Amino acid sequence: MGVRITGTDTLVGALNKRATLKDVKNVVKLNGSELQRSMQRNAVFTRGYSTGATKRSIQLKISDNGFTAKIGPTTEYASYPEYGTRYAPAQPYVRPSYFKQKPKFLNDMKRLMK
């Protein structure tokens, strides 16, 4: 049993012709920082006890030589405001930011391919 991926040579060739890896890294970094700022703007909680720790803990980490951006809060309780609890309704701040940034990222990547 195995996985066969076809078309990778075509994809690599198209990327080499149209965009450099540096361009891809710049798109990842730019969109990652925009997503981080958006999450921090949305992390304003109106219910419960708010210290601002979750908002301050939202960090951007670039890995895989610049091809991966990981953005998110590092507090242990960050999921409580995002999804809510049985006593407190949800106050999402990650998902709205993600769904707003996703089409921008995809458009930027498509623009590199043209």
Q: Is 64 part of any domain? A: yes
- Mean pLDDT computed over every residue of the chain: 86
Tell whether 50 is covered by a domain: yes
What is the structure's pLDDT at 112? 84
Is 3 part of any domain? no
Which three-class secondary structure state does DSSP give residue 17?
helix
Query: Is residue 109 in some structural domain?
Result: yes
Whole domain around residue 81: which residue ranges?
8-113
93 part of a folded domain: yes
11 has pLDDT over 70: no
Task: Quote the pTM value.
Answer: 0.78
Domain presence at residue 22 = yes
Q: Please check whether residue 2 lies inside any domain of the structure.
A: no
Q: What is the pLDDT of residue 19?
A: 67
Lowest-confidence pick of 16-25, 30-39, 51-60, 96-105: 16-25
Q: How many domains does the chain have?
A: 1
* Angstrom distance (rounded) from CA 44 to CA 20: 38
In tens, the pLDDT along 33-81 reads 999 999 999 998 877 777 889 999 999 999 988 889 999 999 999 999 9
Is 38 within the bounds of a domain?
yes
Q: What contacts 24+ positions apart, CB below 8 Å, involve 98-101?
A: 98/35, 100/38, 101/31, 101/34, 101/35, 101/38
